[in-house]
Amino acid sequence: RKRQRYVEKDGKCNVQHGNVRETYRYLTDIFTTLVDLKWRFSLLIFILAYALTWLFFGLIWWVIAYSRGDLEHLGDHSWTPCVNNLNGFVSAFLFSIETETTIGYGHRVITDTCPEGIVLLLLQAILGSMVNAFMVGCMFVKISQPNKRAETLVFSSHAVVSLRDDRLCLMFRVGDLRDSHIVEASIRAKLIQSKQTQEGEFIPLDQTDLSVGFETGDDRLFLVSPLIISHEIDERSPFWDVSRGQLERDDFEIVVILEGMVEATGMTCQARNSYLVTKVLWAPYLADEVLWGHRFTPLLSLEEGFYEVDYGGFHHTVPVPTPACSARQLAAAAARRDAHLYWSIPSRLDE
């Protein structure tokens, strides 16, 4: 059985909150709660908010007409009703809709001899405006959320480990499929792995930052064409002592988070992806989402007057010669080689 993902490949966090006792906190921020609901529940609440409001005030209009005796004098032209041409609950319901939505067909109209009807008309107009503002605001915010913009931000299906400038690096590729760019794009990566402290405390799904250029500013991206993001495995990296053999026996997840502002709307969007390394309990099986000794194929080509990106090879990798040892062992071997070369060169002072 494979380990469960912390973040799915489509960016959804695989975490559910259970046994939440203080549920009243959701009601204190009812606007955000409604925006976060799924579309089917949002549409249901949207319809119920209007329908129940119309029914409630329609019932009150019918009660006023019934208590005044308007329904008993339908054919009496000498009788002045509260609402003209209101002859039952259906017409009261229609008048409630016309009042709240300000349609005003002109067939049913309130008269000036009904003070309770005037008060109810003002109350419904005010409450109807509040319901319109609240529900339309919720739907507008939900529609304008930049979540769908993140669907065009793509990540490579694999991460690779190979040499770059004689140093082991963990790399993955990101790209933007749209012509409108992500402004102020930045990227970060985290290692999700359970660990046990020296005091014996077990920390499930501990999060460790993976440096992707925060100190040098390389984490701020100009995402016009696909970019290869590199994490240099140095002494500060959690992969400093990880070799290829240990990677095949390890169990961890790398979560990548890309953030930026949508150029068209100025709203912030976030895209997430993960690379899982795990093994089956009954056999040492490596999930192929992190490939050791591979490199991404180039995508950019120069055409007449422009650069062309071939997204057909976005996920393609090729094997390259890569040491199977850890970055620590590679650095130690390089240091011994440099020291041997230094002492093997005769000094001119000895001549």
Say yes or no to pLDDT of 107 above 50: yes
Say yes or no to pLDDT of 345 above 60: no
User: Mean pLDDT throughout 229-239?
Assistant: 92
For residues 80 and 349, which has the higher predicted lDDT (pLDDT)? 80
Contact in structure between 241 and 125 (CB atoms under 8 Å): no
Q: pLDDT class for 197, splitting at 50, 70, 90?
A: confident
pLDDT tens-digit map of 139-184: 888 887 777 778 889 999 999 999 998 899 999 999 998 888 888 8
pLDDT tens-digit map of 50-83: 999 999 999 999 999 999 888 888 878 888 888 8
Set out the domains of the chain in order of their start, with CATH numbers: 37-144 (1.10.287.70), 148-344 (2.60.40.1400)
Task: Say which DSSP state 262 is in.
Answer: E
Of the chain, the percentage scoring pLDDT greater than 90 comes to 41
Contact in structure between 295 and 163 (CB atoms under 8 Å): no
Q: pLDDT class for 344, splitting at 50, 70, 90?
A: low
Residue position matching structure tokens 């008269």 = 111
| SS3 of residue 40 by DSSP | helix
Say yes or no to pLDDT of 348 above 70: no
pTM across the whole model: 0.75
pLDDT tens-digit map of 261-317: 988 778 888 999 999 887 654 444 445 689 999 999 999 888 888 889 999 999 999
Q: pLDDT class for 101, splitting at 50, 70, 90?
A: confident
* CA distances to 3, 67, 86, 345 from 75, in Å: 77, 17, 11, 120
Contact in structure between 261 and 183 (CB atoms under 8 Å): yes
* pLDDT for res 187: 94
Strand partners, 57: none
The C-alpha atoms of residue 43 and residue 37 are separated, in whole angstroms, by 10
Contact in structure between 72 and 88 (CB atoms under 8 Å): no
